[in-house]
């Protein structure tokens, strides 16, 4: 009998080994890992850069000496994420190169400048910013709309850090938002569920097991005193719990109360899944 | 003895457990579609979940549509006819009306049957239709007011029972065709502008081919050889008999399934046309037995790194195999 039990356990072992091997070498799984890593990198570095420019526009930046004084607005017009590479200390690093136009007041005259700078990150140190290098600088650029102010960057800093949380990464150390009292309503096709933010996120994993969220747009729907309502449009790719490759176009409407410490206290999140933009003709009516 | 049998059953059971059959690259479109209820063209209540195990193509329209609906159903009719028999058996085409007040089950039945009796038309209450439209992120709007029925170009004329039915409504509606997998999840969207070849490939990617080919190989031979042979295994995974109608390749004048038979003491290679495969049957192709024969090679086999062959089955359709050269 013991012999049969051993054989039985062996057959279980062999089966689970082959399934694990299948998951490991499955091309869908490999694709999902690439998406997950890419989204994490983008959201990590973008959170830092948005916070960096928000500080600059609030005149609270330790790097202010590298920029004109009294900056009124800054608009990012180009961004490029270089390949992740290893430096001599075997620390993974990546470079985010941004081109921006800025408007500033000098002797009561509005002046403009175009800059290009590289943000160098150590990814294995929680995405810490290691260095900022000025690559180019030229005067006489276009005047930047004043809507590209500190709040514009604070909203995006919040959005990118929120996506890190959605992907299951710890964002608490960033101290950007607080979701401890947030309600979350989610509609995925015929499925509707709601609850406390963290509980709803757990249930959400049944449809969106693991993957990467990428921000497409942030719109301010309402901004009154400390109350803010943002609409985020997000693309998601990943695998569901049934091991199928899955994509989503997500609309989230998020209600926020800004605290005195500039922390975004989330009160409510409303999420709907839209038809992903995979065909240019999909909105045609005949 | 009983324990031995039990153990064998358990082990066989585990070995039969396998992940999803079809290995499609098509992603699930999150939040697009889901289970719904409606009334089918046989006046029976239905739900999408009744069709689990089948691939579904779902589109919206209405019987008084003068332009895109007849065109779409014509497109779907051609698409359906191009599929191999096994895929036709595993596919359900659904047409959901956006005009449920006019499109009764009986009228819808006449309209749909005009294109293909295997398609199914769905109607129901306005609330049911609006729910389906919302689930699939589709849209429709009524155009203007009521129109005299004589002014509408229609495929099928409704047998009207009241004067009110002589007035009809016209709609704008989404043209999207939703491709839904065997678990009821939407995997792709297409429309009548999607090349049929592409749509067919997407449908087939969601279905497990009922014929499995494995371990195929072809041996390198002399530069001057005018013929060659390939070996491997062909398994009929379906529960119905299938017939191998032909074998083709571009590397030789003729490609056929042959069997080596000893006739009067001599080994002869005999062509096996219309070879039948019983359900579950494995045909092993090996030297001195069955093999794929390439006759009148266009170039020496040694100049190639692989050979593409198509096995054409009556039910399973075209099964492509890429055979690597064994050097």
Which residues on A lie below 8 Å from B193 (Cβ)?
281
Nearest Cα neighbor of A213 from A240, A177, A181, A248 is A248
- The predicted structure's pLDDT at residue A142: 83
pLDDT band at A83 (very low <50, low <70, confident <90, very high): low
Q: Does A282 touch chain B (CB under 8 A)?
A: yes
pLDDT tens, residue by residue, A198-235: 999 999 999 998 899 999 999 999 999 899 999 999 99
**Owner of token pair 């203007």:** B144
Q: Walk along chain B (327 residues) in steps of 10 and give the mean pLDDT of each run.
A: 38 31 80 97 98 97 91 96 92 97 94 96 98 97 83 74 76 96 96 94 93 93 90 94 96 96 91 96 96 95 92 92 90
Q: What sign does the CA torsion over A173, A178, A182, A184 have?
A: negative
And the tokens for B108? Answer: 């819808």
Which residues on A lie below 8 Å from B30 (Cβ)?
188-189, 207-208, 236, 246-248, 250, 273, 276
Partner-chain contact A8 B175, CB within 8 Å: no
Nearest Cα neighbor of A99 from A119, A71, A131, A77 is A77
Nearest-angstrom CA–CA distance, A217 and A160:
11
Residue in chain A closest to B67 (alpha carbons) equals A286
Q: What sign does the CA torsion over B303, B308, B311, B312 have?
A: negative
CA distances from A197 to A118, A227, A253, B144, B171 (A): 36, 19, 13, 45, 41
- The predicted structure's pLDDT at residue B8: 36
Residue in chain B closest to A236 (alpha carbons) equals B30
**Owner of token pair 């549509």:** B65
- The predicted structure's pLDDT at residue A91: 52
Bridge partners of residue B158, in order along the sequence: none
Percent of chain A whose predicted confidence (pLDDT) is above 70? 85
- Mark out the alpha helices in chain B (DSSP H runs): 2-16, 68-82, 85-89, 105-115, 126-135, 196-205
Residue A240 near residue B186 (C-beta atoms within 8 A)? no
And the tokens for A265? Answer: 């206290």
Residue A235 near residue B17 (C-beta atoms within 8 A)? no
Q: What sign does the CA torsion over B9, B11, B15, B17 have?
A: positive
- Determine phi and psi for B37, rounding to 5 degrees: -115, 150
And the tokens for A36? Answer: 């997950």
pLDDT band at A21 (very low <50, low <70, confident <90, very high): very low
Give the predicted TM-score (pTM) of the model. 0.81
B53 backbone φψ class: left, alpha, beta (φ>0; ψ -120 to 50): left
- The predicted structure's pLDDT at residue A13: 30
And the tokens for A16? Answer: 């689970």
- The predicted structure's pLDDT at residue B5: 40
Q: What DSSP string describes A55-90? A: HHHTT--TTGGGS-SSEEEEEEEEEEEPPPEE-TT-
- The predicted structure's pLDDT at residue B242: 95
Q: Which of residues 159-178 of A touch B (CB under 8 A)?
A: none
Partner-chain contact A190 B35, CB within 8 Å: yes
Radius of gyration of chain A (CA): 23
pLDDT band at A32 (very low <50, low <70, confident <90, very high): confident
* A12: pLDDT strictly greater than 70: no
- Determine phi and psi for A65, rounding to 5 degrees: -60, -20
- Determine phi and psi for B221, rounding to 5 degrees: -130, -170
- The predicted structure's pLDDT at residue A16: 30
Which residues on B lie below 8 Å from A247 (Cβ)?
27-30
Partner-chain contact A4 B68, CB within 8 Å: no
Nearest Cα neighbor of B259 from B241, B244, B239, B237 is B244
Nearest-angstrom CA–CA distance, B26 and B181:
10
* A8: pLDDT strictly greater than 50: no
Nearest Cα neighbor of A247 from B47, B260, B189, B207 is B189
Residue A117 near residue A97 (C-beta atoms within 8 A)? yes
Q: Does A233 touch chain B (CB under 8 A)?
A: no
Q: What DSSP string describes B238-269? A: SSS-EEEEEEEESSEEEEEEEEEEEETTEEEE
Which residues on B lie below 8 Å from A243 (Cβ)?
19-20
Partner-chain contact A279 B191, CB within 8 Å: yes
Nearest to A285 among B139, B185, B190 (CB): B139
Nearest-angstrom CA–CA distance, A281 and B193:
9
Average pLDDT of span A14-40 = 58
pLDDT band at A2 (very low <50, low <70, confident <90, very high): very low
- The predicted structure's pLDDT at residue A84: 58
Which residues on A lie below 8 Å from B142 (Cβ)?
none
Bridge partners of residue B231, in order along the sequence: B217
Task: Name the DSSP class of B166.
Answer: G
Nearest-angstrom CA–CA distance, A242 and B20:
9
């Amino acid at each position: 009998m013991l012999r049969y039990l051993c054989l039985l356990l062996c057959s279980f072992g062999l089966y689970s080994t082959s399934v694990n091997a299948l998951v490991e070498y499955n091309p869908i799984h490999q694709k999902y890992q690439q998406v997950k890593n890419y989204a994490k990198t983008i959201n990590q570095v973008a959170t830092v850069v948005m916070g960096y420019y928000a500080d600059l526009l609030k005149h609270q930046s330790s790097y202010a000496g590298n920029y004109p004084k009294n900056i009124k607005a800054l608009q990012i017009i180009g961004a490029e994420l270089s390949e992740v590479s290893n430096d001599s200390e075997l620390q993974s690093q990546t470079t985010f190169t941004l081109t921006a136009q800025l408007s500033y007041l000098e002797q009561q005259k509005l002046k403009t400048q175009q800059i290009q700078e590289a943000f160098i990150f150590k990814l294995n140190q929680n995405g810490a910013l290691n260095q900022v290098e000025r690559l180019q600088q030229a005067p006489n650029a276009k005047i930047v709309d004043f809507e590209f102010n500190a709040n514009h960057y604070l909203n995006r800093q919040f959005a990118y850090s929120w996506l890190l949380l959605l992907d299951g990464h710890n964002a608490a150390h960033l101290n950007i938002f607080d979701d401890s009292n947030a309600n979350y309503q989610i509609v995925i096709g015929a499925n509707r569920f709601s609850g406390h933010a963290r509980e709803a996120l757990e249930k959400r994993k049944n449809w969106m097991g693991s993957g990467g969220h990428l921000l497409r747009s942030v719109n301010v729907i309402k901004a009154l005193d400390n109350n803010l309502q943002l609409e985020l449009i997000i693309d998601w790719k990943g695998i569901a719990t049934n091991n199928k490759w899955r994509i989503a176009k997500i609309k989230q409407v998020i209600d926020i109360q800004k605290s005195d410490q500039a922390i975004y206290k989330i009160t409510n999140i409303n999420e709907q899944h839209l038809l992903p933009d995979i065909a240019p003709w999909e909105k045609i009516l005949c | 003895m009983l324990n031995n049998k039990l153990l064998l059953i358990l082990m066989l059971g585990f070995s039969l457990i396998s992940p999803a059959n079809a290995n499609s690259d098509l992603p699930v479109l999150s939040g697009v579609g889901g289970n719904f209820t409606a009334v089918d063209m046989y006046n029976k209540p239905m739900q999408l979940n009744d069709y689990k195990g089948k691939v579904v193509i779902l589109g919206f329209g209405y019987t008084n549509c003068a332009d895109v609906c007849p065109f779409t159903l014509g497109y779907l009719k051609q698409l359906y006819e191009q599929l191999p028999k096994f895929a036709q058996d595993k596919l359900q085409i659904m047409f959901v009306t956006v005009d449920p007040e006019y499109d009764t089950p009986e009228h819808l039945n006449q309209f749909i049957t005009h294109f293909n009796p295997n398609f199914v038309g769905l109607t129901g209450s306005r609330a049911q239709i609006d729910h389906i439209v919302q689930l699939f992120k589709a849209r429709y709007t009524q155009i203007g007011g009521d129109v005299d029925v004589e002014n509408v170009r229609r495929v099928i004329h409704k047998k009207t029972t009241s004067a009110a039915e002589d007035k009809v409504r016209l709609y704008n509606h989404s043209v999207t065709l939703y491709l839904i997998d065997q678990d009821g999840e939407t995997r792709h969207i297409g429309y009548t502008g999607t090349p049929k070849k592409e749509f067919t490939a997407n449908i087939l990617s969601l279905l497990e081919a009922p014929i499995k080919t494995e371990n195929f190989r072809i041996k390198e031979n002399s530069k001057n050889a005018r013929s060659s042979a390939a070996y491997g295994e062909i398994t009929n995974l379906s529960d119905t008999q299938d017939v191998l109608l032909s074998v083709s390749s571009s590397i030789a004048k003729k490609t056929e399934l042959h069997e080596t038979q000893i006739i009067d003491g001599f080994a002869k290679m005999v062509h096996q046309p219309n070879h039948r495969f019983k359900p579950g049957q494995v045909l092993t192709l090996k030297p001195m037995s069955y093999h794929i024969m390439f006759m009148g090679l266009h170039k020496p086999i040694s100049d190639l790194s692989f050979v593409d062959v198509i096995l054409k089955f009556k039910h399973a359709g075209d099964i492509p195999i890429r055979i690597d050269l064994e050097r």
